[in-house]
Amino acid sequence: MEMPAAQLHLSRAKVLGWMSLSGATLPFLLLLVVGAAFPFFGGSYWSLIATRACVYWVLVSGLNLVVGFAGQIAIGWVALLTLGAYTTSVLVAGNATPPLPPYLALAIAGAVGAAFGLIVGLPALRLRTFYFAITTLGFATIVTQVALAWQSVTGGGVGVAGPIFPEPFSSPTGLYYFCFGLAAICTWMTANVAASRFGRALIAIRDAEVAAEACGIVKAALLTAVFLFSGAVAAVAGGLFAALQSYITPDAFTLDLSVLFFIAILIGGRSSILGPLLGIILLTVLPEFAAPLVAWSTFLYAALLLAIVLAIPGGIAELLDFRNRRPLESDRAIIPRPELLARLLDAPTRLGALTLEQVSLSFGGVHAIDGLDLEIRPSRVHGLIGPNGSGKTTTLNVISGYYAQQRGAVRFGGTTLPVFARERRAHMRIARTFQTPRIVGSASVLQNVMIGGTIDGKGTFVESLLSLPRHRRDEAKLRDTATLALAAVGLERLAAVRADRLQHSELRFIEIARALMLRPAYLLLDEPAAGLSAEEIKRLGAFLLAIAEAGTGVLVVEHHPDLIFDICHHVTVLNLGKKLASGTPAEIRSHREVVNAYLGG
């Protein structure tokens, strides 16, 4: 018996997912084997260097989520290393409390690091780019000055002895295996997050924040979890660093060390776990081959970073991404499959109309929207047309919560929608696309579509961190649904391809697939036919009609009158922010003022 096409696509997606997972896991297994055997052939000196690399990776594994995935410029993360080193050492030495066992002191340091990681990270919710970087550097300076001044506890400039872990980890080889084990665990945890809805949400915030908000992703909650985790592992790395150094002083925690962590992530590549891991190994080992140049380390790091940015913008991860170097087939046709929509949309519950009542919004003295009344109904395609500057996109932004109207109200099923609550629109099943496609170029097509289903996951950040059953169920369900959405828009064969390799028309349909992941009650489309060929516009129109027939209300802002008049049940024409006319396509075609102001003739 022949397998149905939809099931065939899902089965193919599972096979591709398994092959992709196997290929991604192989380098880590190789590093695990080499790392486990290293003390037997590396010698005592190189084992010491390898231990240092493991300690650094524990910190960088968490920092990578902040810098590489979330895109935050956190240069002063050495502050958390300092905090963890002193907390562990002071608690073991008994300088502030009765002496504690090293393992307990290390755990307490992790908790302290999590708290301060959140404190350092909170400004990122308001500050961006270099302003946040300066904040982290300022915190690093404060921690160092406190360590110098609090002599009764930290020893000031003299320092304090590092912890000695009990057997079997008291020897150099034992400490290496302890650090290597923790580095392996941190790698596993961060890889779990990277492959989860939280990892995809982080890169969406980094590269397409407005699209992330439209998908219901709450930046503050997500970054809070990431800063807690990153701060905790950085402080644990500090405790390991103190044990490796045997004795710590404030001079051990330099700006060069902080720059090393940051540059390792940048040369490793964004949105990658393996790249920054190889980056930190490279930067830890490199000075051993260029010892005479150690005084020039900051300059050399900067030169290496510049060379990577100019020659390989994607870093080490791009060098290792052989799959996306294969040429794509030319003359790719987008052939949507509307018959799959019934399975994908699940016939949304009728929640009433989406209405605007006397909505007004001005920018300075310009009336973008002036007393607009609008009603979009379920199972209908509503067109919104008008000259440039007539207020069409502004209307979508008001409905979506990106702008707050100054007068009037937006209601959904009789309930007033709160202003500026962009993320809440997704929970109310209001989805949208954008005038310029907002896509995460470094992610695959499938991952881009899976971002649209982020709010449907049930597992917590900790469950994803530890790859618990609910996390695995979430991922399987999201992958299957995203594969179905891609099959519906006709792009399933490109699921594994990086989105930045696709044509503009394909990005348009990816955005629609991502919006459909919300199973929207209402779908808002901002110029979806822009840049499409005549045949693609025809297929898009048929697909939008099928979405409406499945029960979803569709609002289309468009400059192609033929598309609007072919598929819309109702059309509203705006001019200078006011409603010029409203009616059926036939009525709008013959409306004299519309013809004069917009259609011509």
Q: Report mean pLDDT in 10-residue bins for the chain, 601 residues.
A: 48 51 74 88 86 95 93 90 94 89 95 93 77 86 90 87 90 93 95 95 93 93 94 96 91 86 88 91 80 65 75 80 79 90 75 89 86 91 89 92 91 86 90 93 93 93 95 94 95 92 93 95 93 93 94 91 91 88 88 72 53
Class in CATH terms, 20-323: mainly alpha
For 412, other C-beta atoms within 10 Å of its C-beta total: 20
Residue pair 448/499 in contact (Cβ under 8 Å)? The answer is yes
Q: Is residue 432 helix, strand or coil?
A: strand
> What pLDDT does 346 receive?
72
How many Å apart are CA 563 and CA 474, to the nearest integer?
38
Q: Would the CA dihedral through 162, 230, 192, 312 be positive or negative?
A: negative
Residue pair 335/539 in contact (Cβ under 8 Å)? The answer is yes
Output the CA–CA distances (angstroms, integers) from residue 490 to 40, 61, 186, 506, in the order listed.
54, 37, 39, 9
For 17, other C-beta atoms within 10 Å of its C-beta total: 18
Residue pair 213/423 in contact (Cβ under 8 Å)? The answer is yes
Could you say which architecture CATH assigns to the domain 338-599? 3-Layer(aba) Sandwich (3.40)
Q: Is residue 52 helix, strand or coil?
A: helix
How many Å apart are CA 506 and CA 504, to the nearest integer?
5
How many Å apart are CA 170 and CA 206, to the nearest integer?
42
- The ranges of the chain annotated as CATH 1.10.3470 are 20-323
- The ranges of the chain annotated as CATH 3.40.50.300 are 338-599
Residue pair 382/555 in contact (Cβ under 8 Å)? The answer is yes
Output the CA–CA distances (angstroms, integers) from residue 209 to 46, 51, 140, 478, in the order listed.
44, 38, 28, 20
For 254, other C-beta atoms within 10 Å of its C-beta total: 15
- Write down the pTM of the prediction: 0.89
> What pLDDT does 2 receive?
43
How many helices (H) and strands (E) would you count in the chain? 24, 12
> What pLDDT does 6 receive?
47
How many Å apart are CA 394 and CA 557, to the nearest integer?
11
Phi, psi at 368, each rounded to 5°: -70, -40
Would residue 155 be called left, alpha or beta, if left means φ above 0 and alpha means ψ between -120 and 50 degrees?
left
Residue pair 363/534 in contact (Cβ under 8 Å)? The answer is no
How many Å apart are CA 324 and CA 322, to the nearest integer?
6
> What pLDDT does 55 receive?
96
Can you give the three-state secondary structure of 367-390, one letter per residue? EEEEEEEEEECCCCEEEEECCCCC
